Amino acid sequence: MPGYTSGVNATGYRVLLAEDEATFGLTVARFLQKAGHEVKVCSTGKAAMKALDAAEWDVLLLDLKLPDADGVDMLAQVRKEHPELQTIIVTGFANVQSAIDTMRLGAFDYLTKPPNFEELGMRVEKAGEKTLLERENRRLRFQVQRNLASDILTRAPALQKVLRTIEMVAAARTPVLIEGESGVGKELLAQHVHRLSPRSAKAFVDLNCAAVPSSLLESELFGYERGAFTGAGNEKPGLVEVADGGTLFLDEVGEMAGEIQSKFLRVLDSGTFYRVGATRKRRADFRLVCATNRDLKAEVAAGRFRKDLFFRVNGVKVVIPPLRERPEDVPLLVEHFARQLPREMQLTPAALRALQVYDWPGNVRELHFAVERAGLLTEGETIDLNDLPPEIVEKSGGRVPSAAAASASAVAPAPAAPVLSDEDGPDLARVRMALERAKWRRERAAEILGVSPRTLYRWIKKLGL
């Protein structure tokens, strides 16, 4: 028999004792049971680890010398897999220094054989109390992380189902594959996975595989040693190294070149990699989240994506529905984006209706730009239909004039949405506001203003900005 259980009392703690000396184990178990604790004794390390995986324990009493396991190695494994569980090392007098060393590795305390039973009881009480405190802290952190995830706004049942799936798998190490069109919020969902995971205190590292040339992708992922190639003046860690202990998010993973796919698969299989130009193997432990706007199964069938890599990244697949399939989310998102504008603004019912009937080929990203642009280019405090981009106005059936302007519009049609053009010339206030909103990123500011980057550059020179 690898172990036995002694006594159950709801007022005590659940204590697991890994001890191969049967008489000593029975004596300790009886003492702790009389003190109101539930005790299970395992005579091997294997049996103890199995018991830890099968149930939740409050205290582990661990003998440093087990027939099939080294206590120090076992402690390291327990700390990694059950970080809240407090461990008390039990050892003979000759191994006291080893027991003290385990304190540096995260052991709660140590006792020598034979123990003072009164002291044993007090230390078990303190260890159990700390375990419960650590678990409560973890629960509270998880609750806070859930509350912080409120930037994923939805009333749509399909997206709410996706969020429930993420909540169920966030604590596991299983890779997550996020599919969806461009602009639906795949990176936001990946961050949501990270925030809800036990790795939330570590780094969230993201890489858009489509934005990095294939020739540079290997060094971005795995890093390089000094002199590995022309221009490599200093060593640089790769993103798999930076993500150690945290989450690695690969956006547009379907764009990864075949040669890099093979090397990345080896990292997933072995947890090891080499920097470019290195001979020393390195280890990396990260949670993988991937995203794609492609059908990866079709990419596999076409020979553009490795089948074995697909199986690795496709641990749990979720699909974010496009915005056109969840019009009930538009008012919620519009309100959120409007609150981010430099000044308080509201939308008229006509403008909101137009936003709801538009099919949003660019999804949430396009909606964000539309609201942001309208808010920057509108002089009043209300965004009306005519303040929206022309393509949205046209989709809604055109301009909706007020009753007072209806007759005048028959003679002099009102202009479309106020898109600045080259002929309009630069408007200092609007250009400055767009640049500040875009944090002086010119391409982004040009998108907000509805002009080309070249035109904006000319305006900046003319205005002396």
Is cis: bond before 114, omega within 30 of 0? yes
**pLDDT computed for residue 144 by the predictor:** 54
Tell me if 3-140 shares its fold with 152-321: yes
Task: Give me 10's structure tokens.
Answer: 């709801």
**pLDDT computed for residue 264 by the predictor:** 95
Q: What class is the 152-321 domain? A: alpha beta
Pairing, β 287-292 against β 3-6: unpaired
Backbone dihedral angles phi then psi of residue 158, each to the nearest 5 degrees: -65, -45
For the domain made up of 324-401+415-463, give the CATH fold: Helicase, Ruva Protein; domain 3 (1.10.8)
381: how many CB neighbours lie within 10 A of its CB? 10
What residues pair up with 383 in beta bridges, in sequence order?
A: 347
- Which DSSP string do the residues of 174-233 spell out, in sequence order? --EEEE--TTS-HHHHHHHHHHHSTTTTS-EEEEETTTS-HHHHHHHHHEE-TTSSTT--
354: how many CB neighbours lie within 10 A of its CB? 25
**pLDDT computed for residue 95 by the predictor:** 66
Distances in Å between the alpha carbon of 262 and those of 280, 298, 310, 419? 19, 19, 11, 48
**pLDDT computed for residue 143 by the predictor:** 56
**pLDDT computed for residue 52 by the predictor:** 92
The CA angle 442-448-450, to the nearest 5 degrees, is 100
What angle separates helix 349-357 from helix 330-339, to the nearest 10 degrees?
120
Domain ranges of the chain: 3-140, 152-321, 324-401+415-463
Q: Give me the count of residues in the chain.
A: 465
User: CA–CA separation, 249 vs 175, rounded Å?
Assistant: 10
- Which DSSP string do the residues of 261-294 spell out, in sequence order? HHHHHHHHHHSEE--BT--S-EE---EEEEEESS
In contact, 423 and 394? CB cutoff 8 Å:
no
**pLDDT computed for residue 429 by the predictor:** 67
CATH architecture, domain 3-140: 3-Layer(aba) Sandwich (3.40)
User: CA–CA separation, 134 vs 83, rounded Å?
Assistant: 9
Collapsing DSSP states into helix, strand and coil, what is residue 91? strand
Regions of the chain where pLDDT drops below 50: 1-10, 147-150, 399-424
**pLDDT computed for residue 404 by the predictor:** 34
**pLDDT computed for residue 329 by the predictor:** 93
151: how many CB neighbours lie within 10 A of its CB? 11
